[in-house]
C-alpha cells in the first residue's frame, strides 16, 4: 500500500473517531432523556438517520465542498441542538429537585410517541449538521478517491454504533456528564460557525 494512501487512511480513522464521537454524543444524550423502553428505539432510529444523511452527503461531497458557508449553516443547526439540550437538562434537574423535596411532581405530559419523536427531531438536526462536517472532512482527506470515501463512511457508522450506547449508559449513570457533553457540543458549534465565517471571507 502506498505511503500516501496509508497516511490518508490513518487521517480518516482519526477524523471519524473524533467526528463520529460527536454524533454519538447527541444520540446518546437524546436517548438518555427517554424512558428505558424508548432508549433502544431512539438509538437504532438515530443510527439509521445518521447513516442516511452520511450516505446522502457523501454522494454530493464534491458539491458540498464547493458551497461557501456550508459549515456556517451546520454550526447554526448545532447551536440550536445545544439550546434544546440545555432546556432538556434544566427540565430534568427541576423535576428531580421537586420530587426530592416532596413538592408537586412535574410529570411530562407528552405521550411516549411524542417524547420519542421530539428526541428524534433533535437527533435528525444534529445528524444533518455533523454529517456535513464529517463528510467534508473525509472527502477533503480522500481527495476524490471513492474507495477511501466509502471506507470513511462505513467506519463512521461503525464508530457511532459503539459510542452511542456507551455514552447513553454513562449519561444515565452520571447525569452531570450531560453538562460536559453540552459544553463540548457548544464548542463544536462555535468552531463550525467561526470556520464558516472564515470560509465566506476568503471566498
Are 16 and 156 in contact, with CB atoms under 8 Å apart?
yes
Q: What's the pTM value of the predicted model, to 2 decimals?
A: 0.67
> What's the pLDDT score for residue 71?
77
87 is written with which cell numbers? 432546556
Cβ neighbours, 10 Å, residue 88: 19
CATH match of 3-201 with 3.40.390: no
pLDDT in tens, 119-146: 888 888 888 877 777 777 766 666 656 7
With cut-offs at 50, 70 and 90, classify the pLDDT of residue 105. Answer: very low
Q: How many CA atoms are closer than 13 Å to the CA of 93, on its beta-carbon side?
A: 12
If DSSP states are collapsed to H, E and C, what string results for 40-108? HHHHHHHHHHHHHHHHHHHHCHHHHHCCCCHHHHHHHHHHHHHHHHHHHHHHHHHHHHHHHCCCCCCCC
pLDDT in tens, 12-35: 776 666 667 777 778 888 888 788
Burial class (CB in 10 A: 0-12, 13-18, 19+), 97: exposed
**Mean pLDDT over each residue of the chain, to the nearest integer:** 76
Are 198 and 72 in contact, with CB atoms under 8 Å apart?
no
6 is written with which cell numbers? 496509508
Range scoring the smallest mean pLDDT among 56-65, 92-101, 123-132: 92-101
Alpha-carbon span 80 to 34, nearest angstrom? 20
> Of 155, 163, 164, 156, whose CA–CA distance to 133 is shortest?
156
- Spell out the domain ranges in the chain: 3-201
Amino acid at each position: 500500500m502506498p505511503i500516501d494512501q496509508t497516511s490518508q487512511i490513518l487521517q480518516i480513522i482519526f477524523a471519524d473517531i473524533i467526528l463520529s464521537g460527536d454524533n454519538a454524543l447527541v444520540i446518546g444524550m437524546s436517548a438518555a432523556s427517554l424512558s428505558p423502553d424508548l432508549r433502544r428505539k431512539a438509538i437504532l432510529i438515530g443510527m439509521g438517520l445518521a447513516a442516511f444523511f452520511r450516505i446522502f452527503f457523501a454522494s454530493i461531497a464534491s458539491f458540498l465542498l464547493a458551497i461557501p458557508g456550508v459549515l456556517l449553516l451546520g454550526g447554526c443547526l448545532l447551536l440550536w441542538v445545544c439550546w434544546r439540550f440545555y432546556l432538556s437538562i434544566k427540565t430534568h434537574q427541576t423535576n428531580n429537585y421537586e420530587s426530592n423535596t416532596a413538592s408537586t411532581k412535574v410529570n411530562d405530559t407528552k405521550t411516549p410517541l411524542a417524547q420519542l419523536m421530539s428526541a428524534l427531531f433533535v437527533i435528525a438536526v444534529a445528524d444533518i449538521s455533523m454529517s456535513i462536517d464529517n463528510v467534508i472532512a473525509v472527502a477533503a482527506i480522500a481527495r476524490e478517491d471513492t474507495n477511501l470515501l466509502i471506507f470513511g463512511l462505513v467506519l463512521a457508522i461503525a464508530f457511532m454504533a459503539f459510542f452511542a450506547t456507551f455514552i447513553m449508559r454513562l449519561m444515565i449513570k452520571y447525569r452531570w456528564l450531560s453538562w460536559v457533553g453540552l459544553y463540548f457540543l457548544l464548542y463544536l458549534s462555535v468552531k463550525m460557525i467561526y470556520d464558516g465565517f472564515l470560509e465566506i471571507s476568503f471566498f
